[in-house]
A = this chain, B = another copy of it.
């Protein structure tokens, strides 16, 4: 029943943790410059952090991008607010911008910068042979770097990450704990991969022979572009031949499944629990909402929006808004949804019509 205490808990603990959330004062003038905005109010007020509209205090900047908050600007206790250019309020300190949400993201990024790599390779990590690393690479305990791996500059490989043989990793990459990148996969620059994600597992390819299925070796890899963020516990399979490709700027949510030989175009969003079957092609600037399934070998165009829980079995041209299983134009889907709930009533009315018509028919003949 011994108590192992590496450190008595002291007030220093709290200090230490708070320190990890960087706080860097900016004047409102500096913030306006950062977001290319215009100031209405006091441009010398000092801002120490960001907070949501309801919780912001006098040292915080907050966001009133939507009508529901714009109406309540007077109620805010924030030191300053980021608002759209069209805002005509004249109380408080305002930063007017074209794109309030993007401006807020930039200010948040200033006050909560990404952790910097420590330039320490833990002696509890495993480093294979013929590994090449750039500058400022941090490798945490129990990470395992295979043979012939190339890692760029300013990369953080967190605890328990496994990089297979021949993997290449670009600059400014962060791999959260227990990420697995299987052999020969390529990761671009400025990529963030969340914990538990597996990249480069074998594609699901089998050839039936008699009672059995023969494995079709999956000899390709996965290539991930620049500025990509992959959510937690994703699975992205390697191609049978060639590469499964995740374009630049793609963002995936958690528990997303991308099968072998899929191509996901630049700046496309895959929302939680979406699954894309083998050899499907997803265009650029497209959004697949949560729990959507995409059939194998089809093509979804650019600038397509697919609603949640959709089952997309046929190719979709560019610029469509599609929802449902089967996928249909979103407007049709909304009508169909209303009707589906009323099917018992419609059926009753149909039966009523049949009865009435039979009576009429009888009268007619009678």
Of residues 153 through 209 on chain A, the ones whose CB sits less than 8 Å from some CB of chain B are: 158-160, 162, 164-166, 176-178, 180, 182-184, 192, 194-198, 201-202, 204, 206-209
Known: A176-B182, A273-B257, A275-B272. A215 touches B7 (CB 8 A): no
User: Considering only CB atoms, which chain B residue lies closest to A205 in the complex?
Assistant: B105
Q: Complex Cα distance A249/B211, Å?
A: 9
Instruction: Please give 17 more A-B residue pairs, beta carbons under 8 A apart, in addition to A4-B119, A141-B142.
Output: A2-B135, A4-B133, A7-B130, A99-B209, A106-B214, A126-B142, A144-B159, A162-B178, A176-B180, A177-B182, A194-B201, A233-B255, A254-B257, A275-B291, A308-B311, A349-B354, A350-B350
User: Considering only CB atoms, which chain B residue lies closest to A293 in the complex?
Assistant: B291
Q: Complex Cα distance A232/B41, Å?
A: 52
Give the distance to chain B from A324, nearest Cβ to Cβ, in Å. Answer: 8
**A59 located at the interface, meaning its Cβ lies under 8 Å from any Cβ of chain B in the complex:** no
Q: How many copies does the complex hold?
A: 3
- B293 and A290 contacting across the interface, CB-CB below 8 Å: yes
- A13 and B132 contacting across the interface, CB-CB below 8 Å: yes
User: Considering only CB atoms, which chain B residue lies closest to A140 in the complex?
Assistant: B144
**A42 located at the interface, meaning its Cβ lies under 8 Å from any Cβ of chain B in the complex:** no
Q: Complex Cα distance A16/B167, Å?
A: 12
- A196 and B242 contacting across the interface, CB-CB below 8 Å: no
Stretch with Cβ within 8 A of B (4 or more), from A25-33, A72-80, A88-96, A340-348:
A340-348
Chain B residue contacts of A311, Cβ below 8 A:
291, 308-309
- A216 and B1 contacting across the interface, CB-CB below 8 Å: no
Of residues 317 through 366 on chain A, the ones whose CB sits less than 8 Å from some CB of chain B are: 324-326, 328, 332, 335-337, 339-341, 343-344, 346-347, 349-350, 353-354, 356-357, 360-361, 363-364
16 contacts across the A-B interface (CB closer than 8 A): A3-B135, A17-B165, A21-B219, A51-B241, A99-B207, A126-B159, A141-B142, A180-B196, A194-B201, A211-B249, A213-B251, A290-B293, A291-B291, A349-B350, A350-B350, A357-B357
Chain B residue contacts of A350, Cβ below 8 A:
346, 349-350, 353
